[in-house]
Structure 1
């Protein structure tokens, strides 16, 4: 169902995370209609978002410059240049201060943005649910509705307040690292980047398998929550019919399914870090061998070699995060579709167009 289309008050909502369809959990990577409606909720938060994004970019720039300052300090130590070392040390302290300010702006203002979006969306949905017809609640599970008001809103606000910004930051970081390394020593930069295509291929393949595992884990916990909500709300009926053992058995089954799903997700999560580290270490070896020869030949300062090692350490993280965020954005788009499907539900009984609102009831007939 397209976002924004009117929905009958008695219609059953789509299955979302308790359905068997992956597309209900992972939407399109870009949905203009959903983003347009989401941005309407953040009209009062746009300056907080801008300042928070500025803080992230400032912190990213500081992280990119830090290895160059370390290289400068190292070269000055080897040269015995005390004045140059003092300048490099002061620059490093300045970068640390700048990073602290950037992190403060980022944390404070993105938190304001996220909480503001959460509040406005949940108030809108809560108010709308009070206008929905009783038949709507007969046809839809309370657990499913609660999932949209809580989990889906959380997922969508993460998209607006962090995910899009972090995609841009990771791209800037990756491009910036490569550009700086090429400017320092293009031959060594090409050699050190030899493992990057392999890293990208591994992360893309991993992301495809991890996506399925994370979807199953998300669906499993949704089933646990749904079973728990129905069991607690109907506990009186359960006790009257002596179904305690049966309900405990059902809950145990969904809990075991949740455990198995999360074990598979954890297995995949545990695989990517060692693989990433192995490739990073491979780049370290390449840089140490070829860069070491250049240092011994006197064609490259020791500080540049150290800078290369520090930049290689920073390359793997943006690639991994970009692959993970692809799934996060898809999930958020699907959450947005479910949120606006609920908001678009029309009551079966509506007031007349020119109906007057009762100001104060007299209390008599």
Structure 2
């Protein structure tokens, strides 16, 4: 993954800096509340058992007044329950902010895409399929929204959870904490190896989906031609071939994902087994308190969750990056140049100077070095056989098409 996974989205998140900051503050508050809970559990266990082993005094919350209560466990339970309720409210606010943010960005991207699309020259649409452009507006934008709605929030939560939990684990027992990090180098290498394949795989899947959408759009818009020429079987076979290719590309992507997810779970499981074994031995020989051991394992579980979800976050991130690249390839395409005189009144003089035109991908010119001048107010009839270029010449005048070479002037202005 990139060093800053959110950098590609800065362009779209910048207008919502306030919402992002508020969401981050709520996220930080929620994680702090979740981080305190294992400490309360640790202290409750150590107070109840009267443990004085190593680790029992580490990070002890100063609630000495609880010792004067006949049954402090009930008070601990009440405090934990109260923090859980507060955490629920903070989590609700955080989720609401990030969900709203994802919908705002989705709307901005789709609006920017469509607004720019209608300003592109007609030549652009000769080089693109309608189904592909529709797929970008719907499927690709939804992939970006899904990332911002879920994986974006989970990535931020995971990073904060990981570092907070690791810090407290080191304060409880730094040796066990270092031992729990043993799988990390392997996890990082595996993630880097998988990320590129997932991104390329999703790009191919999206392109194939666009091809299928184009075929469906062509069949529906040309249904009269299909029926008139009895082409139903041919069109069905062609679509089935495209569909099989789509399934195959998805299957290859599933293979990569299916290998990575269990591998990440295996590494995390191995780390937890080793910590449980060695930590349990230390509790037995009273070199570590039971409360500290329980809290350490609670933090280990919290720290392992982001690692368990790393595969999914990489998956959704690479999908969104591939989709964002497809969207921005259109948005960054130069719009149509309407010229300096697009808004001025014209008298109607038309002049073509050595104008030639060929459609994209075809080297045979439809018009070849046409030169003529039509004074304002004159009428000129253009005749010729079908396909001789009459309609093409007419489309050049309002700039629905651009000449391949030569110059077209209205009242002496290009």
Do these two structures clear the TM 0.5 threshold for a shared fold by scoring above it? Answer: yes
Q: Which residue of 18, 35, 41 corresponds with 1:47?
A: 18
2:218 counterpart of 1:244: no
**Deviations 1:139-188 (Å, cap 9, x if unpaired)?**
32112222332233334455666655544433222222221111001122
Q: Is the 8 A contact 1:29 1:329 kept in 2?
A: no
Q: Is the 8 A contact 1:27 1:330 kept in 2?
A: no
2:312 counterpart of 1:317: no
Q: Select the structure that is richer in strand.
A: 2
Mark the CA change 1:131 to 1:199 in structure 2 (over 3 Å): closer, same or farther. Answer: closer
The CA distance in 2 between the partners of 1:322 and 1:286, in whole Å, is 21
What is residue 167 of structure 2 aligned with on the other side?
A: 179
SS of alignment partner, residue 194 of structure 1: coil
The CA distance in 1 between the partners of 2:127 and 2:309, in whole Å, is 40
The unaligned stretches of length 5 or more in structure 2 are 52-66, 346-414
Give the C-alpha shift of residue 276 in structure 1.
Answer: 2.8
2:61 counterpart of 1:73: no
2:91 counterpart of 1:120: no
Give the C-alpha shift of residue 302 in structure 1.
Answer: 1.1
The CA distance in 2 between the partners of 1:313 and 1:163, in whole Å, is 20
What is residue 22 of structure 1 aligned with on the other side?
A: none
The CA distance in 2 between the partners of 1:67 and 1:31, in whole Å, is 31
Give the C-alpha shift of residue 84 in structure 1.
Answer: 3.5
SS of alignment partner, residue 228 of structure 1: helix
What is residue 228 of structure 1 aligned with on the other side?
A: 216
- Kindly report which structure 2 residues correspond to 1:1-365, keeping only aligned pairs within 5 A, or say none: 37-39=11-13, 43=15, 45-79=16-50, 83-157=71-145, 166-319=154-307, 321-322=309-310, 325=313, 328-329=316-317, 332-333=320-321, 335-343=323-331, 344-349=333-338, 352=341, 355=344
Q: Is the 8 A contact 1:207 1:324 kept in 2?
A: no
TM-score between both structures, scaled by the size of structure 2: 0.67
Output the aligned Cα RMSD. 3.4
The structure with the largest alpha-carbon Rg is 2
Give the C-alpha shift of residue 324 in structure 1.
Answer: 5.3
The CA distance in 2 between the partners of 1:203 and 1:153, in whole Å, is 25
The unaligned stretches of length 5 or more in structure 1 are 1-25, 357-365
The CA distance in 2 between the partners of 1:269 and 1:70, in whole Å, is 37
Aligned residues: 327
Q: Is the 8 A contact 1:204 1:323 kept in 2?
A: no
TM-score between both structures, scaled by the size of structure 1: 0.75
The CA distance in 1 between the partners of 2:201 and 2:77, in whole Å, is 47
The CA distance in 1 between the partners of 2:340 and 2:113, in whole Å, is 20
Q: Is the 8 A contact 1:118 1:154 kept in 2?
A: yes
SS of alignment partner, residue 182 of structure 2: helix
Give the C-alpha shift of residue 266 in structure 1.
Answer: 2.7
Mark the CA change 1:231 to 1:211 in structure 2 (over 3 Å): closer, same or farther. Answer: same
The CA distance in 1 between the partners of 2:9 and 2:198, in whole Å, is 26
Q: Is the 8 A contact 2:144 2:324 kept in 1?
A: yes
The CA distance in 2 between the partners of 1:79 and 1:122, in whole Å, is 62
What is residue 18 of structure 1 aligned with on the other side?
A: none
The CA distance in 1 between the partners of 2:43 and 2:3, in whole Å, is 46
